[in-house]
Structure 1
C-alpha cells in the first residue's frame, strides 16, 4: 500500500513518521513545496519506506499529479488548500484523510461524487476537529436520550509566558480563526451561531495544568452531524487566564480584520500586520506544550441521569521529540489512513468522524490510539 502525505510541516512530518512504522504500508511519499521541509521530514522519519517529492500544491491539477499512484492520501495542508485537495482526491480516485475541518458543508456536497469515484474522504480527522467529535458522537450513541454534549479542547504551553500566556505550535492562520469566526452550536435542538469569544468560563484540569478559561468556538461539523441527536452541543477552547480578554480587545479594535488597508503606500490587512506583531509574542523559550481534551455528554440511560466524561491530558513527547499538539493531531489521521489502506474501513463518500469511529469501531480505535501514546480515559456517572 502506498500513502502520500501532502504537506511536511510539523504535523505532516509526524504523520509521515508514524505511517511508515505501520505494518502493511509499503511506501510513503512526503510531498511539499519546499525541498528543505522534505529533507527535514526524511531525516526525522529515518525510514527506507519514505521518499520525498517537491511540487506545487496550489491547484487541483497540481495535487492530482501527486495522487496518481497512491492508495490513500493524508492532507496536512493549510485551510485554503483543503477543499482543493478533496476535489483532487476524488478526481484521482484516491482515498483522503484530511486534517482540516473547515468548509464542511462544501465538502459534504461532494459526497455523491466521492461515492461514484469509489473513494472515502474523511474531513477533520485530528484532535479537534477529530477526537473531540467522535467522542461526543459516541457518548450520544450510548444514551437513550442525549441532553448535552460539551467538547473542550486546547493546546497550551507547558511554561506560559506573558503577555498572552500562549505560544503557537502550528499554524497561526488556524489559531486566529478562533478569535474571529462565529461559533456554530446546538441550543434547544436548533442550530445557532454564537458570537466569537463568547461565554467566557473558568475550568480546572489536573496538574500540571490547573485553572484555565474557555470560550465557545465553532463546532460546525459536529453540530451539523448531530443536530437531530442532542438538544445542546457546544465546543469550547482552552487558554490560560487572561488570554481571551486580551484577544477580545484586539478583535474589537479591528486588528484581526481581513479588509485591506493602506500603510505608507503598501496594501495589507490588519490581520496580516497583527500576525507579524503577534508571532514573537506567542513564541516561548520552550517548545514543550500540553494538549487538554474533556468531552462531557449527559442525558438519560435506562431511566437514569447519566454522564460520560472523556479526558486527555497529554504533554510533550520526549521519546518522539515532538509537541503534544503534533502527536495528538497527527496520530488519528495516520491511524485512519492505515485502517483505510488495510480495508478496515470500506465506506465511500464524504464520511465524517462522527459517523466513522463510533459503535463497533469506537473502542478499537481508542485502544490503538492509547497504544500509540494518545491516552484517553472515560468516567461514567449515574445519578440514582
Structure 2
C-alpha cells in the first residue's frame, strides 16, 4: 500500500514510523513545507521504503499530483481554516482516493466539503488521534452497545509521571499553541440534552489515575462532532475533561487573570506583541520535554445507560508512557497510533462509501474491536471496565 503523509511534525512522523513497522509492503511519501520537519522524520524512520518531498498545501496542482501517487492520504497539517480548505480542494480533484485526518477542531468546515468528496468518489475520515479521536470513538461505541446511552464523559490528560520536578507540574507533550487555546476556550458540553457552555480553567472534580494518584478535572472543548452526532439520540450529558496534577489549574487561572493569555495586541518598547504569544514562547522553554523523565497519557471514557432493561455503567481505559529510547512522547504515541491504524484500516475499505464520515460513526462494532486489537499489538491495551 502506498501512503502520502502531509505534514511531518509531532504526529505525522510517528504515524509513518508506525505504519512502516507494522505493514511490510508499505511505501510512504512524507511531504512538508518545512525542511527541518522532513529531516527529523527521516532520522526517526530510517527506512528505504520512504521518500521525502517539500510541498506547499496552497499549491493545489502540486498537492493533487502528490495525492495521485498514493492509495491513501494521511493529513497531519495545522487545523486552521485556510489549510483545511486547501486540503479539501485538492482531495476533491483526487478522484477515488481515501484520506484520514489527524484530530480536528473546525469540524463544520470539514463537513462543508462533504458533497464535493461524494462527487469525486473520495472517502475521508477526519478527527483521528486521542482526544478528539479515540475518545470520541469510545463514546460512539458505547452508544452502539447501549440500548439507550444516557451520559458519557471523556477524561484525558498528558502528564509528567513524576510530580514536583517540572515547573507547574507540567511538561510539553503536544502542540503548546493548541493547549493554550484549550485553556482559554469555554467548553461546549451537553447537559440535560441541550448544548451548554462551561467556563474555562474551572476545576470541578477529581480522579484517580491507577498507580499514580489524584488529578484535578476541568472542562475542555473537545466534543467536536459528538455535538451533532449524539443530538436527538436521547443522550442527556456529554463532556470532555482534561486532567492535570493538583494545583496546576489554579496557577493557570492566576496567569490568565493577569493577562498572560490575552490575544489583544500590546506595545512593548515599540514592538507589537500578543501576551499569549509571549507566554507560549516562555512555556516552550520552561516545559520542554526532558528525555529520561517519563511522561504518560491517560484516557478514561465512561458511559451510563440502559441495556436489556437494566441501568449499566461501562468504561474504556487507556494508559501509555513515553518511549524514551525512541524519543517519542506518550501523547505522540497515543495520538499517532490511532491515526496510523485508522489509515491502514481505511485503506482496505472496499465498502464503496464516500464523503466525510466521522470517526465515532465509522469505528464502531467490529471496526472498534479491530482498532482496539491493533492498539494492544502496539503495547497500548484498552481495558473494558
Scaled to the shorter chain, the TM-score interval is over 0.9
Q: Who is 1:279 aligned against?
A: 284
Deviates more, 1:253-262 or 1:312-321: 312-321
| Regions of 4+ moved over 6 Å | none
Q: Who is 1:84 aligned against?
A: 86
Q: Who is 1:382 aligned against?
A: none
Deviates more, 1:353-362 or 1:282-291: 282-291
1:191–1:227 contact (8 Å) kept in structure 2: no
Query: What are the Cα deviations for residues 314-358 of structure 1, in whole angstroms up to 9, with x where unaligned?
Result: 112356442211111111111111112222664211111110001
Structure 2: tracts of 5 or more residues without a match: none
Deviation at 1:150, TM superposition (A): 0.3
1:300 aligns with 2:306: yes
Change beyond 3 A, Cα 1:163–1:318: closer
Q: Who is 1:268 aligned against?
A: 273
Q: Who is 2:67 aligned against?
A: 67
Structure 1: tracts of 5 or more residues without a match: 380-384
Q: Who is 1:38 aligned against?
A: 38
1:311–1:376 contact (8 Å) kept in structure 2: yes
Query: What are the Cα deviations for residues 290-325 of structure 1, in whole angstroms up to 9, with x where unaligned?
Result: 000000000111121101111112112356442211
1:175 aligns with 2:175: no
Once residues 199 and 244 of structure 1 are traced to their aligned partners in structure 2, the CA distance between those partners, rounded to angstroms, is 7
Change beyond 3 A, Cα 1:261–1:63: farther
Change beyond 3 A, Cα 1:327–1:284: closer
* Aligned residues: CA RMSD: 2.0
Change beyond 3 A, Cα 1:320–1:283: closer
Once residues 257 and 59 of structure 1 are traced to their aligned partners in structure 2, the CA distance between those partners, rounded to angstroms, is 34
Q: Who is 1:23 aligned against?
A: 23
Deviates more, 1:85-94 or 1:175-184: 85-94
Deviation at 1:103, TM superposition (A): 0.5
1:366 aligns with 2:369: no
SS state at 2:11 partner:
helix
1:122 aligns with 2:125: yes
1:202–1:214 contact (8 Å) kept in structure 2: yes
Q: Who is 2:5 aligned against?
A: 5
Q: 111, 131, 134: which is aligned to 2:134? A: 131
Deviation at 1:165, TM superposition (A): 0.8
Mapping of 1:1-384 within 5 angstroms?
Answer: 1-23=1-23, 25-58=25-58, 60=60, 63-80=63-80, 81-93=83-95, 94-160=97-163, 161-207=165-211, 209-218=212-221, 219-229=223-233, 230-283=235-288, 285-286=290-291, 288-318=294-324, 320-343=326-349, 346-379=352-385
Query: What are the Cα deviations for residues 13-52 of structure 1, in whole angstroms up to 9, with x where unaligned?
Result: 1111112234375420011223232223123212221110
1:30–1:52 contact (8 Å) kept in structure 2: yes
Deviates more, 1:36-45 or 1:122-131: 36-45
Give TM-score, length-normalised by structure 2. Answer: 0.92
* Count of residue pairs the alignment pairs up: 378
1:32–1:38 contact (8 Å) kept in structure 2: yes
